[in-house]
């Protein structure tokens, strides 16, 4: 059952989400996402990790020379799972899903993307100095660099477990541990070049490791696990001060003092090197995700509700502080009692210079979902998304400018007649229109409260919208007012395309396809023998079109929607958007960052390499490198290389209403009519100017 939530609706019903999305999307092998997801899905951590391992063997991806550039967020939008800085507080690395490695040389105010030899999710990082760092990740991955990340070399280990965390300690950081699935513990004594297995007498998933010196180390994991050693890992002692809840992180304050945190508001402290533990009362049931201590007194931790907690007495008392947007921060690193960094969902990187009381954003761009976008030429474009967000770009997407929409409902679909006149629909019957290319928006009156998911205008007066509970609306007043028509169904209708004022096609849930030849007065249901939801439809001309949906459903019609042929993509994932740009060529996007392309009318579909596994919900193609894809977490990416053998064809012979560029209004640079001075996000950081030396 779906309940009208846009985030759920655009990704299929709850059953499909549990079956597909959580199995792969955004959680890939990460301890951080294990922490944030397992509790809410009411599954065991062990089961969750088993599923992740299963998927790693089914869906390997290769992202070498993928030809994509992040336009939003920047520097990138994949989830980040770990951050660490060298003692100079200038050199730092952040790692995350989809082989993400970021490096900074100025305290995080500028980040550079780096590439490792393999495509895996990376979950842990330790920075030794300006040149040297180590990262760990899925399938036993350990990479080292000695030149600031210009080159990464693999440390050969026999273990193929997913590694979640690592720590280095001792003189020149020669001694270290990394931990992972099924109780895996690896130790190095040569700076990470080689690793040997140690036995912790547990098969639990080990999520975090910290060390005081080469002899003393602590590991935490699932089922309440806390392992301690005071002899370099020859033996490990098991403690469970928090019962069987998942333990997320731990830290040494001194040789004898330790703090460990976990789910259910559990904070435990030891003052005798882990021999005994005492739970700290903090009067919260929040799930704690990360922990960092700057010294023996000043500590910091984050929870799943987006709060940061501070202590100044070694963890005896904690005070919560709110961060704007309540981001889920999964990794903390404090270099001293004032300066710290944190990372989390959608590529978010933030920094504090006052001991965690206030935070500024080091990553740029919005993180609301992008539900639809359009481009009028290679430079001028527009996007809409969750929480009433709209953006315009005047430079091909290099910069996206927020525009005041006047609404807070999720905006789901766009229809433009030309570069000036456009229409947007959203949740709770929301309808917006513009005559200046999206620089300003006015509201229309739909007289309905159902969520509207698709819209298509055939001229400046006449348009159609579809949505929840079989909703079909028609306007003959440029969207100022709408009339409801009977569709004959109560399933969710997801998308609509009209050839002229009379003939149109609607697609929706449970394989629903509806046709009208009288301007929406009556609708004919087309038999498809398909049970999957259909989320989008696109036509190249009045005859050739494609519809896509759940579990890899792809349909093609050659008679304007009267009959449809089922096509196979070999990917049983949800597909959310399609564009047909030649008679036999189309591009589809969907879950797991999927981009599919056909050049033979759908007989074969090629999966294009990508640099993200985010769910993609919109696609625009104008030929060559003018291809944009967008979706979850504000993700907008553009091709930096043309698809091989793909060239845009001359425009099809269509009535003018099906393509842009038939109006005298030409694309032009726009400035928002109302400037948004505060978009509600975490304030953007500004690098302080260095004082000149006398």
Spatial separation of the C-alpha atoms in residues 435 and 285, rounded to whole Å: 50
Residue-wise pLDDT for 510-535, tens only, equals: 999 999 999 999 999 999 989 999 99
Average pLDDT over residues 668-690: 84
**pLDDT average, residue stretch 218-222:** 98
User: 491 and 629 share a domain?
Assistant: yes
Predicted confidence at residue 654, as pLDDT, reads: 39
| Interval 565-608: pLDDT, tens | 999 777 899 999 999 999 999 999 999 999 999 999 999 999 99
DSSP one-letter string for 386-420 = GGG-EEEESSTTSS-EEE--S--SPEEEEEESSSS
Rounded CA gap, 656 and 499, in Å? Answer: 9
Which residues touch 312 (CB under 8 Å, ≥6 apart)?
297, 298
Q: pLDDT-derived band of residue 32, with 50, 70 and 90 as boundaries?
A: low
User: Considering 304, 328, 361, which residue would you say is the last residue of a domain?
Assistant: 361
Per residue in 182-213, pLDDT (tens digit) is 999 999 999 999 999 999 999 999 999 999 99
Same domain, 340 and 458: no
- Rounded to whole angstroms, the Cα distance separating 395 from 154 reads 39
Where is the domain boundary, 309, 326, 361? 361
Quick one: which of 490, 458, 488, 450 has its CA closest to 474?
458
CA distance 520 to 485: 7
455 and 340 within one domain: no
Q: Are residues 352 and 452 in the same domain?
A: no
Question: What's the gap between Cα 648 and its chain centre?
Answer: 30
Tell which of 361, 395, 416 closes a domain.
Answer: 361
Do 475 and 336 belong to one domain? no
Residues 87 and 207 in one domain: yes
Decide: helix, strand or coil at residue 470.
helix
Q: How far is CA 601 from the centre of its chain?
A: 31
Within-domain flag for 422: no
pLDDT at 119: 86
pLDDT in the model for residue 30: 53
The answer to whether residue 415 sits within a structural domain is: no
Torsion of CA 678, 452, 4, 443, to 10 degrees: 40
pLDDT band at 664 (very low <50, low <70, confident <90, very high): low
Confirm whether 48 is domain-assigned.
Answer: no
Residues 185 and 279 placed together within one structural domain of the fold: yes
Which of 258, 257, 317 lies closest to 284, judged by CA?
Answer: 317
- Residue 539 confidence (pLDDT): 98
Is residue 150 located within the same domain as residue 277? yes
Torsion over CA of 464, 470, 471 and 474, rounded to 10 degrees? 30
Q: Answer whether 0.85 is exceeded by the pTM.
A: yes
Rg (C-alpha) for the chain, rounded Å, is 27
The larger pLDDT score, comparing residue 150 to residue 655, is at 150
User: Are 138 and 251 part of one and the same domain?
Assistant: yes
In a domain, 350, yes or no: yes
Please give the share of the chain, as a percent, with pLDDT higher than 70: 87
The reply to whether 202 falls in a domain is: yes
CA torsion through residues 90, 91, 95, 99, sign: positive
Match 């949740």 to its residue by tokens.
Answer: 427
Whether the ω angle into residue 338 lies within 30 degrees of 0, i.e. cis, is no
33 pLDDT higher than 80: no
Let me know: does 217 contact 208? Beta carbons within 8 Å: no
In a domain, 235, yes or no: yes
Report, as an integer, the average pLDDT of 644-670. 51
Domain identity same for 353 and 451: no
**Position 377 in a domain:** no
Sequence length of the chain is: 694
Q: Is the pLDDT of residue 16 over 60?
A: no
Same domain, 171 and 308: yes
Count up the domains in the chain and report the number.
2
Q: Which residue, among 514, 629, 614, 529, has the nearest Cα to 574 in the 3D structure?
A: 614
Are 451 and 586 found together in one domain? yes
Q: Report the alpha-carbon distance of residue 57 to residue 48 in Å, rounded.
A: 15
Instruction: Give the whole-angstrom CA distance, residue 195 versus residue 384.
Output: 49
In a domain, 680, yes or no: no
SS3 sequence of 135-196: EEEHHHEEEEECCCCCCCEECCCCCCCCEEEEEEECHHHCEEEEEEHHHCEEEECCCCCCCE
**Domain enclosing residue 159, as ranges:** 75-361
Q: Tell whether the model's pLDDT for residue 49 goes beyond 50.
A: no
Q: What is the domain-level CATH number for residue 111?
A: 2.130.10.10
């Amino acid at each position: 059952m779906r309940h009208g939530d846009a985030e759920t609706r655009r990704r299929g019903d709850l059953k499909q989400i549990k079956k597909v999305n959580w199995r792969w999307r955004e959680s890939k092998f990460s301890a951080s996402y294990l922490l944030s997801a397992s509790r809410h899905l009411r599954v065991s951590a062990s089961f969750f990790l088993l599923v992740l391992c299963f998927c790693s063997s089914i869906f390997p991806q290769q992202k070498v020379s993928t030809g994509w550039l992040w336009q939003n967020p920047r520097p990138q939008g994949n989830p980040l799972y770990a951050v660490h800085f060298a003692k100079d507080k200038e050199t730092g690395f952040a790692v995350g899903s989809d082989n993400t490695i970021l490096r900074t040389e100025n305290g995080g105010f500028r980040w550079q993307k780096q590439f490792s030899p393999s495509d895996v999710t990376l979950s842990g990082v330790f920075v030794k100095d300006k040149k040297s760092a180590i990262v760990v990740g899925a399938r036993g991955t350990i990479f080292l660099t000695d030149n600031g990340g210009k080159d990464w070399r693999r440390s050969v280990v026999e273990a193929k477990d997913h590694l979640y965390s690592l720590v280095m300690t001792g003189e020149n950081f020669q001694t270290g541990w990394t931990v992972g699935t099924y109780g895996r513990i690896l130790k190095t004594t040569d700076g990470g070049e080689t690793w040997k297995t140690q036995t912790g007498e547990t098969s639990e998933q080990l999520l975090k490791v910290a060390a005081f010196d080469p002899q003393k180390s602590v590991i935490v994991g699932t089922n309440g696990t806390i392992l301690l050693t005071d002899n370099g890992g020859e033996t490990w002692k098991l403690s469970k001060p928090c019962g069987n809840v998942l333990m997320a992180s731990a830290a040494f304050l001194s040789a004898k003092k330790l703090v460990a945190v976990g789910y259910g508001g559990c904070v435990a402290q030891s003052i005798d090197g882990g021999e005994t533990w005492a739970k700290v009362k903090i009067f919260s049931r929040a799930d704690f995700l990360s922990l960092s201590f700057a010294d023996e007194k000043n500590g910091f931790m984050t929870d799943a509700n987006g709060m940061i907690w501070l202590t100044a007495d070694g963890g005896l008392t904690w005070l919560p502080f709110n961060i704007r947007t309540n981001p889920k921060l999964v990794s903390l690193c404090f270099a001293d009692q004032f300066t710290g960094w944190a990372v989390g969902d959608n590529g978010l990187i933030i920094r504090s210079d006052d001991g965690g009381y206030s935070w500024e954003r080091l990553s740029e761009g919005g993180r609301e979902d992008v539900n639809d976008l359009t481009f009028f030429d290679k430079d001028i474009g527009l996007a809409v998304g969750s929480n009433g967000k709209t953006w315009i770009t005047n430079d091909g997407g290099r910069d996206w400018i927020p525009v005041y929409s006047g609404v807070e409902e999720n905006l789901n679909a766009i229809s433009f007649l030309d570069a000036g006149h456009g229409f947007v629909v959203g949740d709770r019957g929301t309808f917006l229109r513009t005559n200046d290319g999206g620089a300003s928006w006015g509201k229309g009156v739909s007289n309905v409260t159902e969520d509207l998911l698709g819209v298509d205008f055939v001229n400046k007066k006449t348009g159609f919208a579809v949505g929840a509970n079989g909703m079909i609306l028609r306007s003959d007043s440029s969207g100022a007012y709408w009339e409801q028509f009977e569709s004959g169904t109560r399933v969710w209708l997801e998308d609509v395309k009209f050839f002229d004022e009379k003939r149109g096609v609607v697609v929706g849930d449970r394989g629903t396809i509806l046709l009208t030849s009288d301007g929406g007065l009556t609708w004919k249901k087309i038999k498809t023998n398909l049970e999957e939801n259909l989320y989008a439809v696109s036509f190249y001309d009045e005859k050739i079109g494609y519809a896509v949906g759940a579990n890899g459903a792809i349909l093609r019609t050659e008679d304007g929607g009267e009959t449809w042929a089922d096509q196979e993509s070999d990917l049983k994932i949800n597909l959310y958007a399609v564009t047909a740009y030649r008679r036999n060529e189309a591009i589809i996007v969907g879950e797991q960052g999927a981009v599919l392309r056909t050049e033979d009318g759908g007989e074969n579909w090629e999966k294009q390499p990508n640099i993200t596994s985010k769910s993609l919900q919109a696609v625009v193609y104008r030929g060559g490198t003018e291809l944009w894809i967008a979706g979850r977490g504000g993700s907008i990416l553009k091709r930096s290389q043309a698809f091989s053998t793909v060239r845009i064809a001359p425009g099809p012979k269509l009535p003018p209403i099906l393509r842009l560029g038939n109006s005298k209004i030409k694309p032009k640079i726009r400035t928002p009519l109302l400037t948004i001075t505060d978009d509600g996000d975490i304030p953007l950081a500004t690098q302080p100017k260095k004082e000149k030396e006398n």
